[in-house]
Structure 1
Amino acid sequence: MIQFYSTDQYQQKCERLFEVYKNKIHELIPSAQIEHIGSSAIPHAISKGDLDIYIAVEITELEKYVTILKTLDFQEKQGTFRSHELCMLQSNIEEDVAIQLVAQGSMYECFLTFRDLLRKNPEYVAQYNQLKKQCQHLEMDEYRLKKSEFIEKILHRQLQV
């Protein structure tokens, strides 16, 4: 069963952890855009308590930075989508820290778009929280599929506006 936490149970911890990682990443990749994304970056969003970090770099440098981020004890996340514009990494130290390394100007800037849409729209946050509560009994793959469908629906609505 997936366990979700209310914002008062996890967000401050994630915000502090993000600042630590942001500083470490900035030292290694000064030109990168580093953003806090995911539920822990969205007020009032329930979460599994994990931290997601968005790092945007030049497409020609992405593979080099995958290698560099591994020096912070990250590894490529197995079983996730991988392309020349996106690499997801997970920490070997902090159980619930992930990086989405993306090419600047790519379609994967949608991570930021989704975060910003939810920050501006409390109704979307309420819908997202409700979806998560309904998925607590599901296996992780099923949960991720339902979450992806929700995200795509919200992003699609934005395109129609």
Structure 2
Amino acid sequence: MKFYRAEQYQASCEVLFLQYELEIQQLLPDARIEHIGASSIPMAVSKGDLDIFVGVDASEVENAIKLLITLGFQEKIDTLRTPELCMLESISNDDVALQVVANGSEFEDFLAFRDKLRASASLVWQYNELKISCTGWPQEEYRKKKSIFVEQVLALS
């Protein structure tokens, strides 16, 4: 794993988010589209990728996935897939992932995690330290360590 400081990637991720937000909104006018992941958290260290939350009614998840695929995405294999969650990854040169989520589901935790870090410089510092400590690690090991941190943050009141 390789990580970048906020000043190395966040501005370009914000520009990319705004571009995708417009495209997604045209396909899914009722969707809730939010910038999530490290690139949405001021001063967060990141792999430099962009994550976008696309919240839709539970009855619209499958249709939303079909429409989003037309923007150059495919279902991401080896990730959790439920009727309320589907992760899509870009097949273009953009390092972008879409988290298609049923509104009101447990998977709105993507937003809760982002908001807790945005509200706490201490949590951002801890998150950055965790990521930096994983430099050079295999992705699976990094994901395990990150998952534990995310669960701890979400358990905070």
Same fold (TM over 0.5): yes
- Aligned pair count? 157
SS in 1 for 2:140: helix
Match of 2:76 in 1: 77
Counting only pairs closer than 5 Å after superposition, residues 117-136 of structure 1 correspond to structure 2 as: 117-136=116-135
- Identical amino acids, percent of aligned pairs: 51
CA shift, 1:137, in A, is 2.5
Counting only pairs closer than 5 Å after superposition, residues 1-161 of structure 1 correspond to structure 2 as: 2-157=1-156, 161=157
Deviations 1:109-153 (A, max 9, x none): 100000000000000000000000111121000101110110000
* AA at the equivalent of 1:5: Y
Q: Is the 8 A contact 2:2 2:136 kept in 1?
A: no
* AA at the equivalent of 2:52: I
SS in 2 for 1:87: strand
* AA at the equivalent of 2:47: K
CA shift, 1:96, in A, is 1.1
After TM superposition, the score normalised by the length of structure 2 is: 0.98
* Range 130-139 or range 33-42, more displaced: 130-139
Q: d(CA) in 2 for partners of 1:56 and 1:94?
A: 24
After TM superposition, the score normalised by the length of structure 1 is: 0.96
Structure 2 residues without counterparts, runs of 5 or longer: none
Q: d(CA) in 1 for partners of 2:33 and 2:40?
A: 13
Deviations 1:84-130 (A, max 9, x none): 00000000013410000000000001000000000000000000000
SS in 2 for 1:151: helix
CA shift, 1:65, in A, is 0.7
Deviations 1:60-80 (A, max 9, x none): 010011100000010000110
